Amino acid sequence: MTPKILLDDVHKSFGTRSVLQGISIEVAQSEVIAFIGSSGSGKSTLLRCVNLLESIDDGAIFLDGVDISAPGLNPDPVRQRIGMVFQSFNLFPHMTVLQNVSLAPHKVLGQSKKESESHARELIARLGLSDRADGYPDQLSGGQQQRVAIARSLAMNPEVMLLDEITSALDPELVGEVLDVVRELKSNGMTMLLATHEMGFAKEIADRVCFLHEGQILECSSPKEFFTHPTHQRTQQFLQRVTEAGRL
């Protein structure tokens, strides 16, 4: 079976700074992969490359066996199929929650305004934000904003979701409500790549956990294996530090 997503020896550098140095990974349909690693290890850049927000220097990225990193390819149709949620939400502050969620289906998928809004209301209700639909993002808590951002992404019916440290900007007591949404996505069979600092969550939700260090995947294994018997010395050191900081 063709993997849903395939990264083949992906390289990316910003100027002289090499951020991704040969990333290769296969992601099956409905698989959830958690990328962990210290800041600057390339987690975010990796996700941004998959969504074509960054162009890669070498290698290739395939979606359902089709090379989406081919030069000259229009990124817009690809992005419709791959949703992305950002650390800092990136909601549109001049639009209501409903407008944030219904904009892209209306403008990009060509749904009628009515259709896109009724679909958006359903999604907003599903994420428990019905009473906030007509409010603006800055009237919401961080957790609510991030749930809106997820709804906005889901409104496009993506086949894959990229979650870039979606709980890092939240107060600890708001993390749970956002992670609940991700659990629901997993139970619906969504293919997801997530960059995270929430080790407990990665352990619980991921099918595989991958450790990134200096732009390379050092190891990738089931959560149980990964957290109990890390093989690589760097992974051991990282997990040790995380444990000492009380995050595991």
How far apart, in whole angstroms, are the C-alpha atoms of residue 145 and residue 170? 10
By beta-carbon proximity to other proteins, the closer residue of 156 and 220 is: 156
Q: Per 3-state DSSP, what percentage of the chain is helix, strand, and coil (rounded to 5)?
A: 40, 25, 35
Residue among 91, 160, 178, 210 that touches other proteins (CB under 8 A): 91
17 near other proteins, rule: CB under 8 A: no
Q: Which positions from 21 to 50 touch other proteins by CB under 8 A, shown as an x/- string?
A: ---------------------------x--
103 near other proteins, rule: CB under 8 A: yes
By beta-carbon proximity to other proteins, the closer residue of 150 and 199 is: 150
Query: In the bound complex, what is the minimum distance in angstroms from residue 193's beta carbon to other proteins?
Result: 13
Q: What's the gap between Cα 154 and its chain centre?
A: 12
Residue among 4, 43, 132, 152 that touches other proteins (CB under 8 A): 152
How far apart, in whole angstroms, are the C-alpha atoms of residue 74 and residue 145? 30
Helix, strand or coil for residue 67?
Answer: strand
51 near other proteins, rule: CB under 8 A: yes
By beta-carbon proximity to other proteins, the closer residue of 68 and 218 is: 68
By beta-carbon proximity to other proteins, the closer residue of 79 and 213 is: 79
Q: At what angle are helices 172-187 and 142-154 packed, to 10 degrees?
A: 20
Query: In the bound complex, what is the minimum distance in angstroms from residue 95's beta carbon to other proteins?
Result: 8
Within 8 A by CB and 6+ apart from 152, the residues are 91, 100, 101, 103, 104
* Ordered DSSP codes for 8-45: EEEEEEETTEEEEEEEEEEE-TT-EEEEE--TTSSHHH
Number of Cβ within 10 Å of residue 243's Cβ equals: 12
Residue among 108, 169, 242, 248 that touches other proteins (CB under 8 A): 108
> What backbone torsions phi and psi does residue 51 show, to the nearest 5 degrees?
-90, 5
By beta-carbon proximity to other proteins, the closer residue of 84 and 178 is: 84
Footprint of other proteins on residues 59-88 (CB under 8 A)? 75-77, 79-80, 83-84, 86, 88
Number of Cβ within 10 Å of residue 134's Cβ equals: 10
Residue among 24, 92, 231, 237 that touches other proteins (CB under 8 A): 92
Query: In the bound complex, what is the minimum distance in angstroms from residue 89's beta carbon to other proteins?
Result: 8
- Give the footprint of other proteins on this chain (CB under 8 A): 48, 51, 53, 75-77, 79-80, 83-84, 86, 88, 90-94, 103-104, 107-108, 149, 152-153, 156
